[in-house]
Amino acid sequence: MHFSWSKLLLGTLLSLAFLFPWQNAQAERIKDFRIDLVLSENGLLKVTETIRYDFEKARRSAIYRRIPLQYTRHGKATTLTILPLSVKDGDKSAPYTCKLMGGFANLQIGDSKKLLTGQHIFTIKYEANNAVNFLTEAPELFWSCLGSEGSCPIDNVNVVLHAPAKINLSAVKSLSYLGSSGAKGRSQGKVAGNCLQFSANHINSGQDFSCVATFPMASIGPPSIIDSLLVALLYWKSSLAIPAITLVLMALLWFVFGRDPLTFQAASEWMPPTDLTPAELGTLIDEHCDKHDITATLLDLACRGYLIITEVPYGGLMGLDNKDYQFKKAASPDPERLKPHEVLLLSSMFVANDKTHLSILRGQYREYLSDMRRLIYQTLVRDQYFARLPQNDRDAFVVVGSLVLGVGVMLLTKAVLAGDLYKHYGMGFALSGLMIIFASVIMPKRTLKGVVALRQAEVFRSFVRSADHAQFERIAREDPGAFGRFLPYACVLGVAEKWAYNFRDLLEAGPDYFRVFNVDSGPDEKVGAKFDSLGYTYGLSRAMATINSSIDSRVAANDGASGVSRTSRYR
């Protein structure tokens, strides 16, 4: 018997055709696709799509509707803003997701736990902005009904355009295109009552159907600023919802954990809160222990008799100044009377002998600054001026905010690669991260005791700025040492010059903890016989500025390059 290879191949193909139901995929189709477009006078468009979908014997977990978001008219590309409102399967709400990606609003309708089969009527409602363009003198509506991404054939498409009542539809120019705009097979829309109708039959998969309506001039205007703002808020709701939730959460955290307690306790007269050192007061005010708070400790210790600061000539460069400063220990540190940061400062300054100079300490004190700050913070918490360590609060919020910001940046980076899918969430997380970082500034909390001390400091600052000369005459007469005793507090509060001005010509002698080197009598002579409060404060302020700029600077490699040794710089 003669063997036929052609018959064997034909039999194999027929067997495969029976084994795999190709006919089910071909039978799946859309029986009817109706689109109702309701156009308002401000150009906003409400869209209702009614899709009669026939799965026949196919079983699907979802259907996909890709709404085109971009179109080009008169040489200019325009992007629509789509706001999904509702999706129904028959009379019941249908689960759906809407993702913006690749120039489309991708709607996935269905539940993975429930398969779709037979006939279903899906109703999709959404709003669109920028559907009407004003590129020519007359407003024009262009609507791509299907896009070129359809996955199954459509038997009938009917588009009904509801224009504003004031528009005469006979004056509207209309066209429809089966395929891309400008393709063959154009037809005009038909006026039916107060509507324009467009239709097409037997549309293949991937074939678009577009409608164009050109309205009389000034019959439709662009959306108002308020309308555009509302649309933008709805469109960016994912980007705004996450920061809004973060804002509410930060407000609650601040109210519970970061808000300073209210107090109506009256402050006492005019003096600063002397239970705090100037460094502690400066830290309490701005919740940061800054470098000038550290240098204020030097001045306060000198004021209290633990050291003497003397300005001496200097042969090198230090803070762009030609003066150096000698520190002479006048009393041994007493841990019973001094606070931990003050003991550390004096102990680290006078290691080998009772005298040292700023030029010697320069670059060698950096290692102690962090310990000084830590001790000041701990003392304020221990003495119940702060509820918690401020730096810990700030660090916690900065770390969490940075992590959230990093997630936002990652999502935004992914949005560049995957379209708009992650853009809104990325912006939301990024904004939330920045908000958390900024919230770190307000989260440190003062206690009631701290608030009272802060209020007392404000009373003192206000008194220095506004009190009349007679009040300072009384202070100078009753307590001549008040000028020098409270000068460190005035420096921290930024009113040292005003404090000195108020005491002009009122004191016969001033404090002796700051001195200027005198060539004839040596460094221990006080500044003049008649006390000049302004001159004294000016010299002291210059000294503090130089100390402040030099105390944590690095030691220069050529520190002796000026040709003057440390032992020979003080003439």
Burial environment of residue 293 by CB neighbours within 10 A (0 to 12, 13 to 18, 19 or more):
buried
Contact between residue 39 and residue 132 where contact means Cβ atoms under 8 Å apart: yes
Give me the helix-helix angle, 469-478 and 482-492, nearest 10°.
Answer: 130
pLDDT at position 513 is 85
- For residue 317, pLDDT over 60 is answered with no
Q: Which residues partner with 73 through β-bridges? A: 76
Tens of pLDDT, residue by residue over 93-126, are 998 887 777 788 888 898 878 888 889 999 999 9
- Segment 207-242, tens digit of pLDDT: 889 999 999 988 888 877 777 777 666 666 667 788
Q: Is the pLDDT of residue 563 over 60?
A: no
Contact 445, 257 (CB under 8 A): yes
Tokens describing residue 173: 């120019």
> What is the edge-to-edge ordering of all strands in the sheet holding 96-101?
63-68, 104-109, 96-101
Question: Largest alpha-carbon pair distance within the chain?
Answer: 140
Direct distance between the N- and C-terminal alpha carbons of the chain, in angstroms, rounded to an integer: 129
Beta strands in 163-208 (DSSP E): 173-178, 190-192, 195-203
Please give the mean pLDDT across all residues of the chain: 82
Average confidence (pLDDT) over 396-419: 84
Cβ-count burial of 110 within 10 angstroms (0-12 exposed, 13-18 middle, 19+ buried)?
buried
pLDDT given for residue 396 in this prediction: 94
Counting Cα atoms < 13 Å in the Cβ hemisphere of 279 gives 29
How high is the pLDDT of residue 28? Answer: 82
Higher-pLDDT residue of 276, 411: 276
Share of the chain above pLDDT 90, in %: 31
What pLDDT score does 440 carry? Answer: 92
309 contacts 484 by C-beta, under 8 angstroms: no
Does residue 21 surpass a pLDDT of 50?
no
H/E stretch holding 54 reads strand 45-54
Structure token pair of residue 135: 């590129």
Tally the C-alpha atoms within 13 A of residue 327's C-alpha that lie toward its C-beta. 28
Query: Is the pLDDT reported for residue 523 higher than 80?
Result: no
Helix (H) or strand (E) holding 475: helix 469-478
pLDDT of residue 529: 46
